[in-house]
Amino acid sequence: MKLSGMILVCALIFSTYTNASEAIGYYSSGKLKDGDSIIERGTPVHKLFMQRGRFFGTQIMQDTISDAADFVRQTYPDAEQLQIGDIAQKGGGVLKEHGSHQNGLDADIVYLTKNKKLQSQNAAFWEEEFVKNGVVSENLDLERSLNLFRYLVTTHPVERIFVDVAIKKAFCTYAKKNNLLTDKDYVEALRRLRVEDLHTNHFHMRLTCPKTDMSCKSQAAVPAGSGC
């Protein structure tokens, strides 16, 4: 390769690297540099709370969401589009209604449902609750949602998936009933499901810090086992 060609290649590599997104700081105390917009990408998802403008995340987050949407569409052709709530604002930082979502590595996603109904993109809040008086709604599709979790944790850098306590129990009951606890991939998916309040209407996907983001601070690893 001629010197001029080598210089051009190096310049392109450097440009790609310098323009890449960067997660800075911790999930609940950080910011986002050069965030990627799910709207500008045209990712085939159903984006909720459009008026909030919380479209931004790291490139790896947007890739993960896009791949998850593809998985749902290809595995369950009759399913609803993946419904995405808040990711982060441009530049990251503090978000009203959230203690995290600050560095582009958190995203809220609606559980897959049996009636496949899409919520309004202009609604101010979630339109469906999946837990009432500690009982999980029959509309929550346990099989499809768990298979989505299994896909995510075995193919992408998913650190945690926050769910309501009743929903975690429902997934554990489903896994036991269907003899899935002998499958290491399902065990790993259940391991990543962490109980957290205020997740009766969506799950919260959190990614690990990208190795290239030197200022990003990861959370401690989750304990071993399914947690069931």
Strands 106-109 and 203-207: antiparallel
Whether residue 224 lies inside any domain: the answer is no
Q: Does the residue 105 lie in any domain?
A: yes
Q: What's the rounded mean pLDDT across residues 182-206?
A: 98
Tell me the per-residue pLDDT of 134-191, one tens digit each, with 9 for 90 and over.
999 999 999 999 999 999 999 999 999 999 999 999 999 999 999 999 999 999 999 9
3-state secondary structure (DSSP) of residue 103: coil
Question: d(Cα 193, Cα 213) in Å, to the nearest integer?
Answer: 25
Domains of the chain: total:
1
Identify whether 219 is part of a domain.
no
Q: Three-class SS of residue 210?
A: coil
Report if residue 45 sits inside a domain.
Answer: yes
Distance between CA atoms of residues 219 and 222, nearest Å: 9
pLDDT of residue 20: 86
Q: How many residues does the chain have?
A: 228
Determine phi and psi for 34, rounding to 5 degrees. Answer: 55, 50
**Residue 152 CB contacts under 8 Å (≥ 6 apart), including other chains:** 64, 68, 158, 161, 189, 205
Model pLDDT, residue 178 = 98
Structural domain contains residue 162? yes
Provide the pLDDT for residue 98: 95
> Collapsing DSSP states into helix, strand and coil, what is residue 185?
helix
Residue 228 domain-assigned (yes or no): no
50-107 pLDDT per residue, tens: 999 999 999 999 999 999 999 999 999 999 999 999 999 999 999 999 999 999 999 9
Q: Judging by beta carbons within 10 Å of its beta carbon (0-12, 13-18, 19+), is residue 29 exposed, middle or buried?
A: middle
- Is the predicted pLDDT of residue 15 greater than 50, yes or no? no
Q: Is residue 130 one of the residues assigned to a domain?
A: yes
What pTM value is reported for the model? 0.91
| Range(s) of the domain holding residue 197 | 21-207
- Report the CATH number at residue 111: 3.30.1380.10
Residue 154 in any domain: the answer is yes
